[in-house]
Structures are given as structure tokens and as C-alpha cells.
């Protein structure tokens, strides 16, 4: 090839073979979907939650499909457990901070107890888990952290003041982490879905008025399915997103575009 000829650029791979991915809140729902997606792309998925029986069943599902999966029982609201169990892992290439909760109620009725519960899991636990994983990634020379946020980290909504508060905090934390950890080659992004059908949200959709209100907010006209976030998770974790950090990937059917 002469000096004047250029090499044709190649599309980066979205394969994750040989990588180790840690997924919190992975026993079911969105977290299990993330674990299945990453394992399907070739990563070894380490599934984290408090419930061992749920984790064992979830890992078996992934293994039956030909993927690699291991359970890790850990309460991510416990700083000690996070430090010992997640921080004690030998290798972490990818962290998906998925563990979270929501207690919808009118702002004027929010109790201090409910405020503490949501913030402890959605924000503090994510901070501590990221810190433990990032220390390992820094030693290794890099990694990718994906914080599960929400469209509610970009807008406001009635009866979800605390949830919006927590997810706006996640968006700010994501940007700050991305800037600070970039010299260690650790990429940090958030994934912000609209309402996704999971065991957590099905109770909301049982209310026909809420279901219709939700559908009215989504230009694409449907509730999200777990499959809708699986490709996005793999993309953000993969070499295809090598120059992407400090941003939020919205998978919201157009909710926040209005």
C-alpha cells in the first residue's frame, strides 16, 4: 500500500469477550436484563443483590443460554459489604449501577423515612459502589461505569419529587465522575430509560389513568420493554463507545424531546 492510500476504518466491536461485568440489582427485572445482555456479548456477568436464591436462579438462566454468570450476595446500602465484596473482586472491567427504588407520593406527604430510603439506595449506594469498582479499575488501567438513571433525571414529574431528586443527583455524579476519572481511562455514563415494564413498574400500570397518562407523554406511543435497554447497555460498555464519557443516553421514546 502506498503512503497516499488510507486504511479503511473499521467499525469498533461491541463484543465483550474476556471482560468482567458487575451488575447491581441483578436478580430480576432491568438488572437481570442488563446482565443477560452483557453475558450475551461475551462478558462474565457477576450478578449482585441481597437475595441469594434469586441470584442463583438468575445466573442459571444466563448459563442455560450459554453465558458466564456468577452470584455475589451484597447489600449495596452497606458500605462495609460494598468495600469487602465488590471492592474485593479480583477484576472489574464494567460496572452497571442498577440497584434502585421509587416510592411515588405527593411532595407534601413525603416522610423523612421514605426520603432516606430512596436517597440511600439511588444515590449513596451508587456512589459507594462506583468508588469501590473505580479503585479496582484504576489499578487495572481503565474500565466503564454505567449508572442507571431515568428520564426523571432530566425532567420533573408529579408524585416523584424524591425519585427526580435522586436521578438528577445521578446525572450530576455521572458527569463529575467522568471528568475526574478520565485520566485513569475510566469512562462513566448514565442510561436514562422511560418507564420500562418490570416487576417494580407493573403495579403502577395497573392504574389505567396512570398508564394512559404515561403513554400520552411518549411520542413513540408505548411503554418500554427490557429488551429496549439491552443494546444500549452493551454499546456503552463496549469499545464502540470508547470516546463517550460524561453523558446520558436517553432511551425514552421521545419523552424528553418535547
Instruction: Give 130-158 as a DSSP string.
Output: HHHHHHHHHHHT-EEEEEE--GGGTS--T
* Catalytic annotation present for 258: no
Query: Which residue in 19, 44, 124, 163 is the catalytic one?
Result: 163
| Measured distance CA(232)–CA(191) in Å, rounded | 8
Q: Is 140 left (phi over 0), alpha (psi -120 to 50) or beta?
A: alpha
* Catalytic annotation present for 44: no
> Contact, 77 vs 24, CB < 8 A?
no
**Which of 98, 70, 103 shows the shortest CA–CA distance to 85?**
70
Query: Which residue in 19, 44, 124, 167 is the catalytic one?
Result: 167
Count CB-CB contacts under 10 A for residue 191.
24
Active-site residues: which are they?
163, 167
Amino acid at each position: 500500500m502506498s503512503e497516499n492510500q488510507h486504511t479503511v476504518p473499521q467499525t469498533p466491536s461491541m463484543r465483550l469477550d474476556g471482560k468482567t461485568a458487575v451488575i447491581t440489582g441483578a436478580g430480576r427485572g432491568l438488572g437481570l436484563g442488563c446482565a443477560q445482555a452483557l453475558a450475551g456479548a461475551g462478558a462474565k456477568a457477576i450478578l449482585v443483590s441481597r437475595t441469594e436464591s434469586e441470584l442463583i436462579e438468575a445466573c442459571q438462566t444466563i448459563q442455560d443460554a450459554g453465558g458466564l454468570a456468577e452470584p455475589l450476595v451484597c447489600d449495596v446500602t452497606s458500605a462495609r459489604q460494598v468495600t469487602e465484596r465488590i471492592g474485593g473482586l479480583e477484576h472489574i472491567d464494567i460496572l452497571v449501577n442498577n440497584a434502585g427504588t421509587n416510592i411515588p407520593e405527593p411532595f407534601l406527604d413525603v416522610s423523612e423515612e421514605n426520603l432516606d430510603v430512596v436517597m440511600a439506595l439511588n444515590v449513596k449506594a451508587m456512589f459507594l459502589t462506583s468508588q469501590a469498582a473505580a479503585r479496582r479499575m484504576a489499578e487495572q488501567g481503565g474500565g466503564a461505569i454505567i449508572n442507571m438513571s431515568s428520564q426523571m433525571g432530566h425532567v420533573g414529574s408529579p408524585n416523584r419529587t424524591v425519585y427526580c431528586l435522586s436521578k438528577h443527583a445521578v446525572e450530576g455524579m455521572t458527569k463529575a465522575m467522568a471528568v475526574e476519572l478520565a485520566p485513569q481511562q475510566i469512562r462513566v455514563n448514565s442510561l436514562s430509560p422511560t418507564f420500562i415494564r418490570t416487576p417494580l413498574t407493573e403495579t403502577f400500570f395497573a392504574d389505567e389513568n396512570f398508564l394512559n397518562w404515561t403513554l400520552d407523554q411518549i411520542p413513540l406511543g408505548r411503554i418500554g420493554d427490557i429488551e429496549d435497554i439491552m443494546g444500549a447497555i452493551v454499546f456503552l460498555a463496549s469499545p464502540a463507545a470508547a470516546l463517550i464519557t460524561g453523558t446520558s443516553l436517553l432511551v425514552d421514546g421521545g419523552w424528553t424531546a418535547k
